[in-house]
Structure 1
């Protein structure tokens, strides 16, 4: 059983995080405030870490990849933005290569196809089994954080030390065994997703040159360095990491073709059945109009980041009801099933309408809404 936390409104794009060795989902706490309001978050504890189940060691990297695939499948999530750090980066790489249906974009912090040779991992496993987790905590912190961070944040450093020291020993050495045996270098060359590879400038575990070489193996790989950061930039430089993540995702979402982007948004809101019917009925006479609304309304206005699809859906419902456009109102009431607008939010919108556009307009809109929501979704062709 994996311990996970899914946070944020459903209409926001999803960011999934996979942790480093010896940490739990709290690793991302410093980063999330810099991304809040723009993304929904899924964090989880790797097997053997945090509050997840801790089966006997050793583990394989395939175990961790299968765990994350199972979690996303169980939650019905597809085409996510996946961010992995260190061993979490290996998990992310493996999942993206083997289940491309689950991953849209990759953000890899301190990535490599293989992290260190087998010998040092074997020695590390013996040391931990002999001395316990606390015996390696101080040395691990020296690898995790840049010297400047350790000097300035002694109290915070103690909290991260406690997290590591309280990691279940069996889970820790189990994942060390997975790192000892894992080599995903070949799989890096088969990745199809746009991938951002980020190095901490002072990272001793996966230094910038290694991360640069890793990015070069990925067909759509991009390399960035975060200054004054070690192995955990989400803790040391969360604002800088957030800027890179937001810029990368936003850049990938920029439309290469306004019509194609508009068509994608139009389908996501109105549904494939409606858009297909509109396309089938299109003639030379109304083709310019169809192109205009696809590029201008859907590709430009509906695609802007300032409002979510849910917000735009509710605004559109209010405006169409106020203007008495009944056919279009029914269409967008049905579309609210796709935009994340709840029945209660539609109800509040139509009630608000009565105050500012008049009771008759609101009354007519409520009648149309009852007809729409009483009908099964299949009747709409979806």
Structure 2
């Protein structure tokens, strides 16, 4: 896994961006006392269907931990900064607990960034201020370990705590290893946040979800938020506490898929194909091809866009990197030199590395013959050199 971080608003924010760029993007903002790993069980249910952006909010995980207190605006600024830096907009934003507050804040302040909202176990205002003051004082006096068992009871349903006690220990370890300043700083942000007015004005399609045994943001509190946001849909998840992404990932994934299918207008095969084609070959290449298109070759270009890019390259299971390497091998074996060079250039977008291409062309020599491999290696060397990539920097 490559470590990814950006300097935003004076802090370093750790993030993880995964999945092919042509897939729809889900952006996740996690809860108090957790890091981006809290979404791992859910992502296993959605892999090959979506692209994912997760991050550690300030004071959590591998991100910077400035001294407390924080405001909700600090967290909102960080997520907006991350989306802007990665040039992402019109995303589906999924927030858990305080992550849901952050998501609502981003959607209100920069509505062009957020196409859909998924709010898990959160509300427009969470808990009375006195409760947060008491928690902050207790942590200052005794540390996070002192409250950990009580937090686990709010996080997880009774059956989960009993049947998966060893797993609960790991989530408990995540919580108590959160920097105290980060935990308290975010407690302060939650305590002072009241989004009643701004969330009542949200216009994005919104799904509100809560576990039926959530002891942190009880179902009626989450329901009240769904009733506040115009047109929001409310769903109650059985046998789940505050972290349904951990306890009920299959059920949560099903709700997410159903919601997005309901609110998303499907792309035509041509539109999907053009999106994937651009993500692989790059906008400059596709723009040139489109500019050179004539009435004579337009039917063929449409056929390729719909059939190759809109049907085959758009399928799940194989990643863009996998399909890239397969295509390079086939173009080399068949002697299509121009197409081979084009797809080697496309590795800048597909993620196939120089080392992987080299191994593919070496493998080609066994199964398609040494002459084909020799020509392909020459073309690859010329193409990489033209791309400004040093061909002697790969692994032996």
Q: Same fold (TM over 0.5)?
A: yes
For residues 260 and 186 of structure 1, do their structure 2 counterparts lie closer, same or farther at Cα, with a shift above 3 Å needed?
A: farther
Equivalent residue number for residue 88 of structure 2? 78
Deviates more, 1:347-356 or 1:128-137: 128-137
User: 1:226 Cα shift?
Assistant: 2.2
For residues 328 and 132 of structure 1, do their structure 2 counterparts lie closer, same or farther at Cα, with a shift above 3 Å needed?
A: closer
Counterpart Cα distance in 2 of 1:346 and 1:166? 42
Equivalent residue number for residue 181 of structure 1? 192
Equivalent residue runs for 1:47-86 within 5 Å: 47-50=58-61, 52-70=63-81, 76=86, 78=88, 82-86=93-97
In the alignment, is residue 92 of structure 1 matched against residue 83 of structure 2?
no
Counterpart Cα distance in 2 of 1:37 and 1:258? 18
Q: Residues 220-250 of structure 1, C-alpha deviation per residue, up to 9 Å, x if partnerless?
A: 8554432100111133223433454566678
Whether the 8 Å CA contact 1:97–1:187 is kept in 2: the answer is yes
Equivalent residue number for residue 283 of structure 1? 294
For residues 338 and 192 of structure 1, do their structure 2 counterparts lie closer, same or farther at Cα, with a shift above 3 Å needed?
A: farther
User: 1:42 Cα shift?
Assistant: 5.9
Q: Residues 287-312 of structure 1, C-alpha deviation per residue, up to 9 Å, x if partnerless?
A: 22221111111111111112111111
Equivalent residue number for residue 208 of structure 1? 219
Gaps of 5+ in 2: 1-10, 389-396
Q: Residues 106-162 of structure 1, C-alpha deviation per residue, up to 9 Å, x if partnerless?
A: 543213222234344344444544565444334333322223223434454455445
- Within the candidate set 147, 166, 172, 1:136 is matched to 147
For residues 186 and 365 of structure 1, do their structure 2 counterparts lie closer, same or farther at Cα, with a shift above 3 Å needed?
A: farther
For residues 152 and 313 of structure 1, do their structure 2 counterparts lie closer, same or farther at Cα, with a shift above 3 Å needed?
A: closer
Equivalent residue number for residue 234 of structure 1? 245
CA RMSD of superposed structures (Å): 3.7
Counterpart Cα distance in 2 of 1:357 and 1:251? 47
Deviates more, 1:276-285 or 1:115-124: 115-124
User: 1:272 Cα shift?
Assistant: 1.4
Deviates more, 1:201-210 or 1:27-36: 27-36
In the alignment, is residue 328 of structure 1 matched against residue 336 of structure 2?
no
For residues 218 and 263 of structure 1, do their structure 2 counterparts lie closer, same or farther at Cα, with a shift above 3 Å needed?
A: farther
Deviates more, 1:321-330 or 1:301-310: 321-330
Counterpart Cα distance in 2 of 1:143 and 1:66? 28
For residues 150 and 190 of structure 1, do their structure 2 counterparts lie closer, same or farther at Cα, with a shift above 3 Å needed?
A: same
For residues 52 and 153 of structure 1, do their structure 2 counterparts lie closer, same or farther at Cα, with a shift above 3 Å needed?
A: same
Whether the 8 Å CA contact 2:22–2:279 is kept in 1: the answer is no
Counterpart Cα distance in 2 of 1:219 and 1:345? 50
For residues 251 and 317 of structure 1, do their structure 2 counterparts lie closer, same or farther at Cα, with a shift above 3 Å needed?
A: farther
In the alignment, is residue 121 of structure 1 matched against residue 153 of structure 2?
no
- Within the candidate set 342, 348, 373, 2:384 is matched to 373
Counterpart Cα distance in 2 of 1:271 and 1:92? 31
- Within the candidate set 10, 14, 19, 2:30 is matched to 19
Equivalent residue number for residue 321 of structure 2? 310
Counterpart Cα distance in 1 of 2:170 and 2:350? 41
For residues 300 and 213 of structure 1, do their structure 2 counterparts lie closer, same or farther at Cα, with a shift above 3 Å needed?
A: farther
Counterpart Cα distance in 2 of 1:375 and 1:41? 32
Equivalent residue number for residue 380 of structure 1? none
What's the TM-score once normalised by structure 1's chain length? 0.80
Equivalent residue runs for 1:141-290 within 5 Å: 141-165=152-176, 167-188=178-199, 195-215=206-226, 222-245=233-256, 255-290=266-301
Gaps of 5+ in 1: 378-382
